[in-house]
Each structure stands twice: as structure tokens, then as C-alpha cells.
Structure 1
Amino acid sequence: MELRELKYIAAIGQKQNMAQAAQELYISQQALYKSLRKIEDELGTTLFYRRENELLPTDTGQIVLEKSTKIFKYINQMHDEIAATKNLEQGKVCIGLPSVVASMYMPEPLIQFQKKYPNISLRTVETGGNALAGMVTAGTIDMAIIMRPVYMDTLNELPLIRNQVAAGISPSHPWAKRSFITIKDLENTPFITFDETFNMRAQLTERFNAEHIYPKIAFEGANCQFLSDLSALSDNILVLPRPIIEYYAREPVVTLPFKPAFIWELTLVYPKNTFLSTASKALIRHIQEYFSLFD
């Protein structure tokens, strides 16, 4: 049975008159009568019976009318929801963020987005960049902001911020007057940095391996304020992205870049060759526009 035929049955049930139903449907009475007989033959039962000048539903006809009413209700609801989604009046989107990115960069753009689209449900997930890339690929979150490079060819990238990983030291440190440090400088020097859930840590490990160095990591973790405070109290070098060192420092700090440069870039990743909801597209566009102000 086609949807058009359900509309025919609904019109007959509402008007209880073949001529009036045909007029409502803008078809001839004969065409409507033939369609009704076809439907009844297909179902193997009579849907209406005549009482004087009225067409009333049989028991099976009543069942079809009740189900038709629900079907049309769901169809109308579907059209309403599609229209609302297209107009960004509703929708859902989930973005993954490393905790440091969440605290340093994202409160303002996310609040702006919620104010602009108050009916879109916006959810965040916080963990390390390596884990977030896998979650985007698996489809458990819609997008994430992580550190480059991105090793998964299943993800699209939109670069957002470019800076450097640096060494943070106190102004009284013997290296304070230097203009840079190298990876080899850390060979016998205890330092503090991110744990292994972070992409930056993986890249740092690659640099040590390339130089055949076994680093002395005094402390590692994911909480930037905690790592910064540990460095200040212990006088251990803090190896983190420069903006993070400067943001969380409670006391004066000197930041030394690495030579060769250890680039720190944030990029927005989302799946390739897959459907993106209207809400996801809106958030991607909003984040791009916000971070363009950093250029």
C-alpha cells in the first residue's frame, strides 16, 4: 500500500462520503472508488460499509484509519524536525578536547556558539589527543581539536593555531640567558611534561629516540596547572607548548624554544567521506571563524 492510497482512505474516513472525499483529494469520484476497491482487494477485506448516505469504517477499516493517523503524524513530525535542523533550530554535536585546549581556548567560542544556536545540544569530551583522534574515527564523537601531525588518513584537518614547544625555566636557572635549547640538552636533565595520552609527548619521545637519548622525566601528567606548580617548586624544567607554559605560570618564567624548532599546531579534525550534520557544519564554521582572529 502506498502513502497516496493511505491518504485516500483517510479522506474517505474523514468525510464519510465518496463524493466529498474525491473533491477533497482533487480526483474524480470514479478514480477514488477504483482505488478503494484496489486497496481492499490487496488487503483481502472491506474497509467501509454504507449506512444510508454515509460510508462508515468496518473493524478493519478502523484499524487502517487509526494507523494512518499515526503514520501521517510521524511524517509531519519528521518534516518539521528536518526543517528545524536545516534552520539550526535543533540538533546535536559533540566535540573532543584535550583538557588544556578546553581551558585555554574553548570557553569563549563554545559559549558564543550556544548563544547563537541555543536549541542545539552541544557536548564536550575531554581526554588526550591520541585518544580523541580514535574516537572521531570510530564515530563516538563528531570532531576534535588535537595536535598535529595527525596520523590517521581517515580524518580531515583544519589547522587553527601554530606555535612551539618550549622549555620553561625560572629566571634564576643557569640556562635562563640562553636563546634556545636542544633535545640533547635534556639527556641528563630531569624535566616535567605531559603523559603518554598526549600527542606532544609522542612527538617528544620520537625526538629522543632519534638521538638515542633516554630522558629523565621527573614528573608527568595531564593537569597543566599541576605540572606548572611542580616545576616552580622543584626547579625542574617544564617542557610544554609555549602558550601553555605562559598561561599557567604563577611566577615569572623564561621560555626557551627548541632548536631545531619543535612546532606545536592545533588542528580541528573530523571524519572524511561521511555525513556531517547541519549542527556539526555550523560548529566547524564557527570555530574556523573564531580562530581566524588568532592569525
Structure 2
Amino acid sequence: MDIRELQHFMEVVNQKSFTKAAAAIHLSQPALSKIVKKLEEELGVDLFDRSTRKLTLTDAGQIVYGQSQKLVSTLHELHALLDDLRNLPTGDIKVGIPPLVGTVVFPMIAKNFTSKHPQVKLELVELGAKRIVELVENEQVDLGIIVLPIQNPLFHIYPFIEEEFNLYIHHEHPLAAKSIVALSELREEPFVLFSKDFSLHDRIIHECIQAGFHPKIAYESSQWDLIIELVASELGIAILPKSVFPKINNPFIKSIPIAAPTPMWELGIILKKDRYMSYATRELLSFLVDQDIILPSHTMSANS
């Protein structure tokens, strides 16, 4: 048994799927299944209950998962401490990030930071914001980018980006001729939302309720590009950040501003308060300050 086997097992648990975990760590599903089976044989226990369709941990699997989290976190901190001793921004920074943020916001940040610190590897874990909160809390990622607001005393929270939501609609929809649309005008429209693992799912529902109605949900998806394709197929409307529109290569989609009070897409970076912050992670935060992405007043002293 080695640390990589435990990490692969943890990835299966985090993804709740052998197929998704295999894709995330660039292994074939049979190879991943073989690794987990070997781990079970070495430990002499079943880690997963294979009698049901849903992937479920056994009691032994829950113990192994909990201890694996501690072991991987300790190993990561060991590397970070040694990097700090050398005072070099090296190593890996594991960043939890929702897919939409990964598409719209993060590529340019990653490019500019990597050019400045080529010895630091930014490893992205793309999941819904709700899952990312869990990963930060369990110390499985170094930091996460999530949708605000969040109230959690375990985290340092840095406001990150704020922009307006727009309405995304088929260009022949009756509302497409308008230059601005009120949320209340959408009460009879079928909505295409992110799935329940994503904070935007609850956020859009909340904004509609504030406007006096509960949205009619036609479809849910974990992929923003599929949401756009459903809208392009006239199967519903969507509310997404306005910066998504330049990424869309579909002539059937129109983006329309939403009238005041305009719902805002507010992002924040979260780090666990009592976790050791590596030199590389501090360099990333300093870089974000230098780029005016987060404000100096929102940063904290190292490892406070």
C-alpha cells in the first residue's frame, strides 16, 4: 500500500463514481478498479458496498477514507514546510473551482501566475461550490473559489470577483427583442439551472423568489455549455454571469441585462483558518493582490 493508492481511493469517494474518478486522474476505469481492489486485499476489508447501484462506503471504507485524509494532508504539509525552509515557491497548489469559474475566470490567472512562478503547479479540482466547501474544510484542497455569500467560521474568506447576471435566451424568443428584462417577467418561463451541487442552483431560485415567484425548472446540468445548448434548443431560459457570453459560439443565443435590482455573481476565495499555508500559496495570494483581483485589506498575515 502506498500513498497514491489511498489518493486514488479518495478520488473515487470524492467523485462518487469510478468513471468520473478515472477521468479526473487520467487512468482507465479498469486500472482504477484494480488499484482499489488491491487496496482492499491489502487491508483485508471491503471499502465499498457493491450490492447497490449507488456507490456507498462500508464502515471500514469510512474509517480508511477518514485516515487517508489525515495522512495525505500531513504529507502535503510536510512538503510545504520543507519548501518554506528553502524559501522557494515550489510544489503544488490544489485549487477547488466550479467549472464555470474555470472557464470564465481562471485561465488567465493561471497563465500569468505560472509565467511568474514556473516551479509551482496549479492543480484544479472542478466540482460544484458546495462540494468545494467540503474539500477545503477536509483539507483536500489548499483553497477554493466559491459563490458568496458563505457564513463559516472555519474559513478565511477573500472577496474575489463581482459581476452582473444576465438572461440567456433563444434569439427568437418573444423577450429577445427587449434591451433589458425584469426577473418578474420570467415567472412563466422554464428555467435551465445548474444541478443541486452548485451554489448557483440555490442562488437563482432565491433571486426568483425575491422577485415574487418560484421558477419552473425544466432541466438541470453540471455543465454550463450543456445549459447553453438546451437554451439554444428552445427548451428553457438560463441566468448566468454576463462574462459567459463571449465564450459562447452559438448564433441562436442572446444575452440580455436584468433590470435592477440586478442579481450579482459574487465569488470568493476560501482557505481553512487552522491549516498551514505554504510559501507557494502565500505567493499566489500576493499575486492576486498585485493583479487587483483581491484587495490588500482582505489578505491576512502568513499562517495567521
Q: Deviations over 1:103-133 (max 9, x none)?
A: 2222232233333323334321110111112
Matched position secondary structure for 1:269: strand
Identity among equivalent pairs (%): 22
Tell me if 1:193 matches 2:209: no
**Would the alpha carbon gap of residues 79 and 195 (structure 1) be closer, same or farther in structure 2, given more than 3 Å must change?**
closer
What letter matches 1:287 in structure 2?
A: L
Aligned position for 1:285: 286
Write the distance in 2 (CA, Å) between the matches of 1:291 and 1:281.
15
Structure 2 matches for 1:227-238, cutoff 5 A? 227-234=227-234, 236-238=236-238
Matched position secondary structure for 1:205: helix
Aligned position for 2:250: 250
Write the distance in 2 (CA, Å) between the matches of 1:95 and 1:80.
20
Asked if structure 2 preserves the Cα contact closer than 8 Å seen for 1:160 and 1:288, the reply is no
Asked if structure 1 preserves the Cα contact closer than 8 Å seen for 2:190 and 2:237, the reply is yes
**Would the alpha carbon gap of residues 224 and 109 (structure 1) be closer, same or farther in structure 2, given more than 3 Å must change?**
same
Asked if structure 2 preserves the Cα contact closer than 8 Å seen for 1:179 and 1:257, the reply is no
Asked if structure 1 preserves the Cα contact closer than 8 Å seen for 2:91 and 2:121, the reply is yes
**Would the alpha carbon gap of residues 121 and 184 (structure 1) be closer, same or farther in structure 2, given more than 3 Å must change?**
same
Asked if structure 1 preserves the Cα contact closer than 8 Å seen for 2:81 and 2:278, the reply is no
Aligned position for 2:9: none
Aligned position for 2:176: 176
How far is the alpha carbon of 1:235 from its aligned partner?
5.7
Q: Deviations over 1:45-85 (max 9, x none)?
A: xxxxxxxxxxxxxxxxxxxxxxxxxxxxxxxxx9985542x
**Would the alpha carbon gap of residues 189 and 117 (structure 1) be closer, same or farther in structure 2, given more than 3 Å must change?**
same
Task: Return the index of the structure with the highest Cα Rg.
Answer: 1
Asked if structure 1 preserves the Cα contact closer than 8 Å seen for 2:192 and 2:219, the reply is yes
CA RMSD, 1 decimal: 2.7
How far is the alpha carbon of 1:148 from its aligned partner?
1.1
Asked if structure 2 preserves the Cα contact closer than 8 Å seen for 1:168 and 1:256, the reply is no
How far is the alpha carbon of 1:215 from its aligned partner?
2.3
Aligned position for 1:163: 163
Aligned position for 1:44: none
How far is the alpha carbon of 1:87 from its aligned partner?
2.6
Aligned position for 1:87: 88
Structure 2 matches for 1:1-295, cutoff 5 A? 82-84=84-86, 86-88=87-89, 90-209=90-209, 213-234=213-234, 236-251=236-251, 252-290=253-291, 292=293
What letter matches 1:289 in structure 2?
A: D
Q: Which runs of 5+ in 2 are unaligned?
A: 1-79, 295-304
How far is the alpha carbon of 1:292 from its aligned partner?
3.5
TM-score for both structures, normalised by structure 1: 0.64
Asked if structure 2 preserves the Cα contact closer than 8 Å seen for 1:143 and 1:268, the reply is yes
What letter matches 1:288 in structure 2?
A: V
How far is the alpha carbon of 1:238 from its aligned partner?
1.8
Q: Deviations over 1:187-210 (max 9, x none)?
A: 321121211121121122223455
What letter matches 2:196 in structure 1?
A: E
Write the distance in 1 (CA, Å) between the matches of 2:238 and 2:83.
51
Write the distance in 2 (CA, Å) between the matches of 1:79 and 1:187.
54
**Would the alpha carbon gap of residues 255 and 291 (structure 1) be closer, same or farther in structure 2, given more than 3 Å must change?**
farther
Write the distance in 1 (CA, Å) between the matches of 2:172 and 2:270.
41
Write the distance in 2 (CA, Å) between the matches of 1:82 and 1:236.
51
Asked if structure 2 preserves the Cα contact closer than 8 Å seen for 1:93 and 1:279, the reply is yes
**Would the alpha carbon gap of residues 288 and 133 (structure 1) be closer, same or farther in structure 2, given more than 3 Å must change?**
farther
Asked if structure 1 preserves the Cα contact closer than 8 Å seen for 2:84 and 2:278, the reply is no
**Would the alpha carbon gap of residues 254 and 118 (structure 1) be closer, same or farther in structure 2, given more than 3 Å must change?**
closer
Asked if structure 2 preserves the Cα contact closer than 8 Å seen for 1:194 and 1:240, the reply is no
Write the distance in 2 (CA, Å) between the matches of 1:108 and 1:179.
30
Aligned position for 1:33: none
**Would the alpha carbon gap of residues 279 and 170 (structure 1) be closer, same or farther in structure 2, given more than 3 Å must change?**
same
**Would the alpha carbon gap of residues 235 and 202 (structure 1) be closer, same or farther in structure 2, given more than 3 Å must change?**
closer
How far is the alpha carbon of 1:261 from its aligned partner?
1.6
Write the distance in 2 (CA, Å) between the matches of 1:258 and 1:143.
34
Write the distance in 2 (CA, Å) between the matches of 1:99 and 1:145.
10
Q: Which runs of 5+ in 1 are unaligned?
A: 1-77
Q: How many residues align?
A: 214
Write the distance in 2 (CA, Å) between the matches of 1:82 and 1:191.
49
Matched position secondary structure for 2:270: strand
